Copies of this chain bind each other. A is one copy, B any other.
Amino acid sequence: MIKHKTLVAIFIALCMGSMGFAQKGTVLEDFKPSEVNQPGKLYPQVNSERRVRTSILAPQATNVQLDIGGVKYDLVKDEKGVWTGESAPQDEGFHYYQLNIDGASVPDPGTNYFYGAGRWGSGIEIPAADQEFYALKDVPHGLVSENIYFSKITNSYRRCFVYTPAGYEKYAKTRYPVLYLQHGSFEDETGWPTQGKANLILDNLIAAQKAVPMIIVIDNGYAYKPQSGEPGARPVSVFEEVLINEIIPMIDTKFRTIADREHRAIAGLSMGANQTMRIIMNNLDKFASYGGFSGTSNYPSSDEIDPATFLDGKFNDGAALNKQIKVFWLGLGTKEPNPFPGSVGAFRKMLEKQGIKYVYYESEATAHEWLTWRRSLHQYAQLLFK
């Protein structure tokens, strides 16, 4: 009987504990500071359910919200004027977010800042099961160089970041192949070397001998002629012209590149996938490999593509393209929103109809976000220059 009573007591205690837990909204209390917080900052935090909790002192405020992934979560004020609250579980990987304080949209003062969504703002990193491939490890590290240049075409100063692999300084006679890697819309050249972790991904791949040591050039995809068109007219992008006539010659002069098409690849994400597909198809004498991460040049259409007219018929002769293009690579997250699945799907159908060889990769359980693109770079880079 004693045993039975003890068991009942334990059972009741467990139920009460569980009920107390449920009353808290079933939020697991194993939060840890986000790995992209500013030095010494305790918030925001992430728990094992992938919820984001943040906290900010705002004693006179009447309404404070965490705004992440287009959803707003109300924070709750305590007696000291500190507002705290958490989001629903998020996808693994990196997300942009902001706070709303009495109607003002501002960065969370706890995080490092990242350029995306057309602004410098807060970011959060939800640890991913496969995060080792982009982790900072004790392997030889390449350098990421900020390279400022004047563009005559745009009549402006521009900037690219250049990754040179570990050993570039030591092996002073070695020449390297080059990957040109582009960001998406409302992002800039800081995306790939920061939240994209392109340098760490390549450091790890090269150290494991899974990728060939290569230079990566990361420029800004927004480039316009000065005062082009009529007042108020949408400016015409000249990024292709800047890349072909200014950036590539500068890189081939300044860095020890192997300056031929076989040793030059191009890739981009979203808007950058669209741009770089046009660029390679217009310049097959310059590039031999293409990577499209969450994008293709038929965006935003999901309609059937007519290869006779699409991109001026550039995909019409599949057999010729198979000889010219060494790697044609497409990647997409399984949770990407419309129109990406339809648009990339229509493009793949066209490739298949034309008999064009390509690699297709799906990033499991990620949307139109950076974990999709980190994984895409990780896969794509392993196939290049081999």
Contacts and interface: CB of A to CB of B under 8 A. Distances in A.
Interface of A: 38-40, 56-64, 81, 99, 101-107, 109, 112-113, 118-121, 136, 138, 141, 143-150, 157, 162, 169-170, 172, 188, 193, 199, 253-256
B104 A107 contact: no
A146 B143 CA distance: 6
A83 to B, nearest CB: 8
Contacts of A104: 56-58, 61, 64, 101, 106
A63 B63 contact: no
* A64, A146, A147 pick with most chain B CB within 10 angstroms: A146
Given A62-B102, A146-B146, 17 more contacts: A40-B118, A56-B104, A58-B101, A58-B103, A61-B102, A61-B103, A99-B106, A105-B109, A107-B109, A107-B113, A113-B113, A141-B147, A141-B149, A143-B162, A144-B146, A145-B146, A170-B253
A346 to B, nearest CB: 33
A144 B159 CA distance: 11
Nearest to A188: B39
Given A103-B58, A103-B59, A255 B169 contact: yes
Given A61-B104, A101-B104, A143-B145, A150 B169 contact: no
Contacts of A119: 38, 109
A101 B100 CA distance: 10
A207 to B, nearest CB: 13
A147 B143 contact: yes
Most buried by B among A40, A102, A112, A188: A102
A143 B163 CA distance: 12
A76 to B, nearest CB: 15
A101 B61 contact: yes
Contacts of A145: 143-146
A385 to B, nearest CB: 21
Contacts of A103: 57-61, 81
A147 B113 CA distance: 20
Given A136-B157, A157-B136, A172-B172, A120 B58 contact: no
A304 B352 CA distance: 84
A107 B112 CA distance: 12
Nearest to A38: B120
Nearest to A83: B104
B102 A58 contact: yes
Contact of A60 (B39, B62, B172, B256): B62
Contacts of A112: 120
B172 A102 contact: no
A59 to B, nearest CB: 4
12 contacts: A57-B105, A58-B103, A60-B102, A61-B104, A62-B62, A101-B101, A102-B102, A104-B106, A113-B120, A143-B145, A144-B146, A146-B193
Residue among A38, A64, A148 with the most chain B CB within 10 A?
Answer: A148
A284 B165 CA distance: 34
A170 B252 CA distance: 11
